[in-house]
């Protein structure tokens, strides 16, 4: 028995299929996160790509988002201490604040990238490029801030007599502002067309950055690390020379200076060691790999790189006696009797 229009003698016509709107869902989604076939962010066979509200979420993405949340919270605490403590206004603390701000934005960028990829519906090309640009700018500023702190430590030893008169707060502010403008320019590159959205074969391990751009960033990073290593070697030479000169004049002062020098050198070793372990494998891999490589390799190297922003506050801020004192006062309203009140020297980091 016929029903509907056919039963009334009307010719049957097939119902038109629902049109698929052109958009990011029909191809690989641009993302600063790695993706591969079968992973969130790539087109599913016979359907639109991406991950819907009920789709599977990669455990790696959850780990990166959780790391970003921890990074943002930890560095927000550092910034709050620096902002609400009037005594922490020296150029050194301005550089530490710049590093904390960069790492805070990096953590927020990781969370924003997760939200854009899994929660934003419909997908927005501008939002994904913006999140990728935020990560580029933040991590670039973090690395540049580490270099600036190393340069500051070198100058404090090389020009120990004139350091405090030459390195004024205004000069340091100008240099930090110039550095941030440069890093913001790097972050704007994906939005200005330096991306692989129109040519997926040109993508690097982290879309939407192209392979050529990723290679330039990796080489620049390795050059900056080489510069940091050279400055570190110079700091070691100057610190030991100062310790020997003081030892000849005053034995008592030499003991205190030697302790300060050892602490400064151990801190610098910790800084460069963790920096190298976190970033160099990822930088080298980005030089030789592209988006066709297994996604698990990219994730396993990107996660330690992001963890460097989790370690920086521990090395630079929470080990600093002045910041420790402010934290004790803010949290407990007192300073422990065992707290060291030794005055800071130019060898401290």
Residues 159-215: pLDDT tens digits?
A: 877 777 767 788 889 999 999 999 999 999 999 888 888 888 888 888 888 899 999
The DSSP-derived string for 284-327 is HHHHH--TTS-HHHHHHHHHHHHHHHHHHIIIIITT-HHHHHHH
Cα of first residue to Cα of last residue in the chain, in angstroms, is 88
Q: How much is the pLDDT for 98? A: 96
Q: How much is the pLDDT for 91? A: 87
Q: How much is the pLDDT for 21? A: 34
Q: How much is the pLDDT for 47? A: 35
Q: How much is the pLDDT for 341? A: 52
Element (H, E) at 344: none
Q: Which two tokens stand for residue 27?
A: 């191809």
Note the CATH architecture for domain 59-332: Up-down Bundle (1.20)
Q: Which two tokens stand for residue 36?
A: 């591969």
Q: How much is the pLDDT for 260? A: 61
Query: Residue 168 carries which DSSP code?
Result: -
Q: What pTM, to 2 d.p., does this model score?
A: 0.79
* Sequence-distant (≥ 6) Cβ neighbours of residue 227 within 8 angstroms: 147
Q: How much is the pLDDT for 131? A: 92
Q: Please provide residue 184's backbone torsions phi and psi, each rounded to the nearest 5 degrees.
A: -65, -35
Handedness of CA 330, 331, 332, 338 (dihedral sign): negative
CA distances from 25 to 4, 112, 116 (A): 36, 19, 13
Q: How much is the pLDDT for 223? A: 95
Q: Which two tokens stand for residue 250?
A: 């005053």
Of 306, 305, 327, 307, nearest to 317 by C-alpha is 327
> b/e string for 24-52 if b means 16 or more Cβ within 10 A?
bbeebbbbbbbbbeebbbbbeeeeebbbe
Alpha-carbon distance of 186 to 217, in angstroms, equals 10
Alpha-carbon distance of 314 to 25, in angstroms, equals 41
Cβ atoms 349, 271 nearer than 8 A: yes
Residue stretches of the chain with pLDDT short of 70: 1-55, 166, 242-243, 245-265, 267, 333-334, 336-349
Alpha-carbon distance of 60 to 24, in angstroms, equals 22
Of 311, 306, 318, 320, nearest to 348 by C-alpha is 320
Residues 33-48: pLDDT tens digits?
A: 554 433 434 433 333 3
């Amino acid at each position: 028995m016929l029903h509907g229009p056919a039963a009334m003698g009307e010719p049957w016509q097939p119902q038109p299929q629902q049109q698929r709107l052109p958009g990011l869902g029909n191809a690989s989604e641009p993302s600063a996160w790695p993706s591969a076939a079968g992973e969130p962010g790539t087109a599913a066979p016979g359907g639109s790509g991406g991950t819907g509200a009920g789709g599977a979420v990669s455990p790696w993405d959850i780990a990166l988002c959780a790391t970003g949340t921890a990074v943002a919270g930890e560095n927000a605490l550092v910034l709050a201490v620096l902002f609400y403590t009037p005594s922490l206004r020296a150029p050194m603390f301005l550089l530490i604040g710049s590093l904390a701000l960069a790492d805070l934005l990096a953590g927020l960028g990781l969370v924003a990238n997760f939200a854009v990829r899994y929660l934003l519906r419909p997908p927005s090309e501008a939002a994904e490029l913006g999140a990728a640009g935020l990560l580029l700018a933040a991590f670039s500023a973090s690395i540049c801030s580490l270099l600036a702190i190393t340069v500051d430590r070198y100058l404090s030893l090389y020009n120990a007599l004139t350091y405090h008169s030459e390195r004024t707060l205004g000069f340091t502010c100008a240099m930090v502002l110039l550095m941030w403008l440069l890093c913001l320019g790097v972050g704007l590159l994906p939005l200005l067309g330096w991306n692989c959205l129109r040519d997926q074969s040109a993508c690097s391990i982290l879309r939407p950055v192209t392979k050529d751009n990723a290679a330039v960033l990796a080489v620049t990073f390795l050059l900056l690390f080489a510069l940091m290593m050279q400055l570190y070697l110079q700091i070691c030479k100057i610190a030991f020379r100062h310790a020997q000169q003081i030892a000849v004049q005053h034995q008592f002062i030499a003991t205190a200076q030697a302790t300060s020098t050892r602490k400064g050198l151990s801190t610098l070793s910790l800084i460069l060691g963790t920096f190298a372990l976190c970033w160099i494998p990822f930088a080298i891999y980005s030089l030789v790999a592209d988006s066709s490589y297994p996604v698990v390799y990219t994730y396993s190297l990107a996660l330690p790189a992001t963890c460097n922003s989790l370690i920086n506050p521990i090395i630079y801020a929470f080990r600093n006696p002045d910041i420790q004192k402010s934290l004790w006062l803010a949290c407990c309203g007192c300073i422990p009797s065992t707290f060291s009140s030794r005055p800071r020297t130019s060898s401290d980091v």
